[in-house]
Amino acid sequence: MIERIINAKLKSLAAMYPVVTVTGPRQSGKTTLCQSTFPDKNYISLEPLDRREYATRDPRGLLAELGEGAVIDEIQHAPGLLSYLQDEVDARPVPGRFIITGSQHFGLMAQVTQSLAGRTGVLFLLPPALDELVLFPTAPGDLPGVIVSGAYPRIHDRGIPARQWLADYVTAYVERDVRQVLNVVDLAAFTTFMRLCAGRTGQEMNLNALGSDAGVTHNTARSWLSVLEAGFIIARIPAWHRNVRKQAVRAAKIHFLDSGLACHLLGIEEPGQLAHHPLRGPIFESWVAAEVMKWRLNRGMQANLHHFREVRGIEVDLMVEGRSIILCESKSGATVQSGFVAPLGKLAASVGVAGEPRPVIRRLVYGGDDARTQEGCEIVPWRQIANVSWE
């Protein structure tokens, strides 16, 4: 077990709200986080069928047993419990009384928004960020190893080969979560769809082409993509369009939130395979986007990530909107060429002309080791991605 950065924000929200909701993908460490942060609280998981049925059949009885409060795990299995939880915390709004977790963002957050609005703080826990991953004694020390193994904690905590664990994870995800929310007759078709999405990580989304390649309709492709997004398998990064440029493309990009899972779906099982793979650049770009997202979510911020591309002109991989606007390019190679930073300068100038009051920061994350400033742009080695502010 390692200390998670989000721990501080979890304690902070528990001091303000009677309920704190922690959601994220399966196996990201939600249960371990909540139990280690609140070791004195009662703990109950709604994963076992008998407890799930009890929570559905007699929710008031369950809450009465929990008394002063509890960590309630996998609450998406008994969403009706949230309505009774609302009454309970309205009667006794003790800060930090209940900590609830759930893996299925699509079901959980709809119920939380309806039942616990104003009563709960919400945190999103993704698999460990790089500065957390290095705390595992067996964590890879090189970039290809980090990308191919991914960041799911059980791989590194228990020494399970990544190829084995990720294969089991895909099977469990498709057969459990997908079957619960979609009437998918052929689960193999959905797995194929996931692989096609992995082949488009770091690239703009074209639903028509994706559906055609998968042999499904446009509407089915949209529905399946939404399930992947709701389950924190992918993130759709919208285009930034503040009329800075008239010819800006508005298609969103797909990013897999775990590089190891993307590599597994693409058949990349060893770090050596990554060096000459045609998707090395897009996979690295997705890894950078995921690390930036983790940095912000771990501190309780909204992701606020965008990308920018003109039809014929400037293209910037990532734009982060916070106290400043951070323009970021991602290059997987160990050498920084002079042309890499030019798009950042051009877009920064356009943003300034458009009257943006926040400071604009230019940053390039690359696969090398030397940090420096080049042409007004911060050159950030991949190892140091968590050491700079993404606020």
Task: Report pLDDT digits (tens) over 359-378.
Answer: 999 999 999 999 999 999 99
Residue 289 amino acid letter: A
Quick check: 35 pLDDT over 80? yes
Q: Where do the CATH 3.40.50.300 domains begin and end in the chain?
A: 7-124
What does DSSP assign to residue 104?
Answer: -
User: How confident is the model at residue 354, as a pLDDT?
Assistant: 65
What is the four-CA torsion angle of 260, 365, 346, 240, rounded to 10 degrees? 40
Distances (CA, A) of 305 to 24, 130, 228, 371: 18, 19, 18, 23
Topology (CATH) of 7-124: Rossmann fold (3.40.50)
Quick check: 63 pLDDT over 80? yes
Is 13 exposed, middle or buried, given 0-12, 13-18 or 19+ CB atoms closer than 10 A? buried
Q: What's CA 214's distance to the chain center, in Å?
A: 24
Distances (CA, A) of 309 to 197, 252, 305, 339, 361: 20, 10, 14, 16, 18
Placement of tokens 């970021």 in the chain? 328
User: How confident is the model at residue 338, as a pLDDT?
Assistant: 82
pLDDT band at 183 (very low <50, low <70, confident <90, very high): low
Query: What is the pTM (predicted TM-score) of this model?
Result: 0.94
User: How confident is the model at residue 255, as a pLDDT?
Assistant: 98
